[in-house]
Amino acid sequence: MPLVLRFTLVAAALSLLSYALGVVKLEYSLALAVLSITPLVVFIIKGRLRFPSLRIPVSTSHNGLGSVSFRILEVEVKARRDSVASGIAKVVSDRASRGDIRYVLLSVMEGDLRRSLIILTSRDAGRLSVEAEVLKSLLSSLVEDIRVYDVNIPELAPLASWALEARVHSKGLILVSESTLSSRHPFKGGSNDGSTRIYLGEVLDKPYPKPFALEGRDLEGHIGVFGSTGSGKSTTLSVLAERAWYQARIPVLLLDWTGEHSSLLKARGLSFKEYNPATGEAAINPLDLSKDIDYLVSVMVKALSLSPPQAYMLLRALEQGKPRNLRELEAVVEILSEESKWDREVKRALLRKIGMLTRGSYDAFKETRGVALEGICVIRLDYVRNVLARKSYALFTLAGLFMERASGVEGPKVMIVLDEAHNVFSGEEVAFIEQLFSESRKYGLILAIATQSPSSIPNSVLLNTNTKIVHALRSARDKNVIAETMSLTRDYIDILDKLGPGEAIVQSPSNPEPLLVQIQLVNEPGDELHQPLVQGKPVNPNPGIPDIKSS
């Protein structure tokens, strides 16, 4: 404390004490107090006295060009929830763009131990103190488990002085890495809390963009992606399929209705196994699905859109003829007795629908050939030209996987991805679909579906998709269905038809309150932050950095 300040305080205290003891009168005591603070006033007016910060004192170093003030903030992440590296990079870049403060990002690593520091340096100590508090507040709001606090490391003074004088000339990348904040990467199939995460993108309705990921419990239920044509729904579904395997190591079976997903995965240079059911690859004989005739009838009723009379005749054929494949079933139906003209019409209609599977697309249903569920497997439904046969194949495949697991066959968790789900699930018969969505989770089957018309699929499907990713919807009916299912507020309802490509409202068990998210195509938040070089040419900082001596 400066000597003049000490003298002022002592003199003022003595004058008040003298009055309290009755030694001097009030007017003499006040005169003495005024006289005692006169030197303090003079020093303040001349600018010779500056008060230190009442919070954290700004460190100061001296070089040949004058004094340099700096603050050191340490960043600590207690538990992994989201990737924060890209968030830190955005906040620091934004603050640094103002130009009056310079930043140094520093990580010290040894084995699995790390310390991550941010050094702020300037010649204006007052401005530096304000900026440090603002930065601490912004960084602390990124995620719940981040701590940002001041540390005092005088040995970094030479680095702070050099940073203030260094010639900065490149627009290279900020080298903040996830590995500087945590011992394990959160999107590589493991994390400190043992859960699995799939990175989706960045939350937009926050002060600063925050990385957003689906947590492990979000992947325990089914996922629904909704959006009109051109909203980015198919791209989002493709991204989910990719990251389920590459980040969470969950095998993926992708039923590609149009062939679009195969093209998207190829464009991203990803490795996957492709099957063409029209040539017998991944073929499935529906009569192999189950020994339970009632279950088999319920699946075929949904697949072939059978009426109740047609379903009854199918049941008769299965019970009487015991057919082993679709062509044998066709032959059994042909010889069923006809007791009336009505029976003849029902039989002809049933034969017509079975014939759609036994003619041009029969190789897809001839005999069951399994698919090795490893990595990403894409079944090209678009190669099956007949739409009814394509729908039937998709439903038979879902039913086959479900019944295999339900019968006690154990296997790894699998994500089944289906685009244009309204083509498969729409219709009045919903018993099989309700069972599939309500019970498949306990067998390790995750259904990730996408549709441009959520109002066209059964309500039970919507209710059983615990995670919903909603892109722009143009239809008032679709908007109302989604708004009711997700309990959206008026603000979100109003922007449903105004979302840009890739923007989505996301709701999940780990984030029950809807969030506005920009789906990112990069595999991880800040892939570019892991690169050791800048784009273009390496940074060539001003040489001659002073030696930094360790304590």
Q: What is the DSSP code (8-state) at residue 21?
A: T
Print the domain residue range for 119.
Answer: 59-180
pLDDT, position 139: 83
Domain membership of residue 496 (yes or no) is no
pLDDT, position 533: 32
For 137, other C-beta atoms within 10 Å of its C-beta total: 11
| SS3 label, residue 149 | strand
Do 346 and 232 sit in the same domain of this protein? no
Do 426 and 397 sit in the same domain of this protein? yes
Do 65 and 169 sit in the same domain of this protein? yes
Domain membership of residue 299 (yes or no) is yes
| SS3 label, residue 271 | coil
Domain membership of residue 111 (yes or no) is yes
pLDDT tens per residue across all 551 residues of the chain: 456 566 667 777 777 777 677 666 666 667 766 766 676 666 666 554 444 433 344 555 544 445 788 899 988 876 544 456 667 777 888 888 777 788 888 888 776 677 888 999 988 888 888 888 888 888 887 766 688 888 888 888 888 888 888 876 555 545 544 433 433 333 333 333 334 788 999 888 766 678 889 988 898 889 999 999 999 999 999 999 999 999 889 999 999 999 999 999 998 888 999 999 999 999 999 998 888 899 899 889 888 889 999 999 999 999 998 999 999 999 999 998 888 888 889 999 999 999 999 988 899 998 888 888 889 999 999 999 899 999 999 999 999 899 888 888 888 899 999 999 999 988 767 778 888 888 988 899 999 999 999 999 988 889 889 999 999 999 999 999 999 999 999 999 999 999 999 999 999 999 999 999 999 876 544 443 333 333 344 434 344 434 434 33
Do 261 and 290 sit in the same domain of this protein? no
pLDDT, position 123: 86
Specify the CATH number for the domain of residue 136.
Answer: 3.30.70.1130
Do 337 and 396 sit in the same domain of this protein? no
Do 67 and 168 sit in the same domain of this protein? yes
- Count of the separate structural domains present in the chain: 4
pLDDT, position 433: 87
Q: Which is it for the CA torsion 13, 14, 15, 17, positive or negative?
A: positive
Q: Which has the closest alpha carbon to 354: 383, 322, 392, 381?
A: 392
Helix (H), strand (E) at residue 380: strand 376-380
Instruction: Identify the domain boundary among 336, 362, 388.
Output: 362
Helix (H), strand (E) at residue 404: helix 387-406
Domain membership of residue 143 (yes or no) is yes
Do 402 and 263 sit in the same domain of this protein? yes
DSSP per-residue string spanning 488-519: --HHHHHHTTTPPTTEEEEEETTEEEEEEEEE
Instruction: Identify the domain boundary among 362, 393, 423.
Output: 362
Angle ∠(422,428,432) on CA atoms, nearest 5: 80
pTM of the model: 0.62
Q: Which has the closest alpha carbon to 77: 115, 21, 45?
A: 115
Q: Which pair of tokens denotes residue 400? A: 């086959």
pLDDT, position 550: 37
Do 68 and 35 sit in the same domain of this protein? no
Q: Which pair of tokens denotes residue 535? A: 């784009």
Contact 450, 419 (CB under 8 A): yes
Contact 104, 116 (CB under 8 A): no
pLDDT, position 36: 65
pLDDT, position 58: 53
Domain membership of residue 492 (yes or no) is no
Q: Which pair of tokens denotes residue 257? A: 């209705």
Domain membership of residue 13 (yes or no) is yes
pLDDT, position 107: 81
For 183, other C-beta atoms within 10 Å of its C-beta total: 13
Do 430 and 517 sit in the same domain of this protein? yes
Instruction: Identify the domain boundary among 156, 180, 204.
Output: 180
pLDDT, position 181: 41
Domain membership of residue 185 (yes or no) is no
Do 237 and 260 sit in the same domain of this protein? yes
Alpha carbon distance 478, 452 (integer Å)? 9
Do 514 and 404 sit in the same domain of this protein? yes
Alpha carbon distance 279, 36 (integer Å)? 102
Do 169 and 228 sit in the same domain of this protein? no
Domain membership of residue 401 (yes or no) is yes
Specify the CATH number for the domain of residue 479.
Answer: 3.40.50.300
pLDDT, position 485: 92
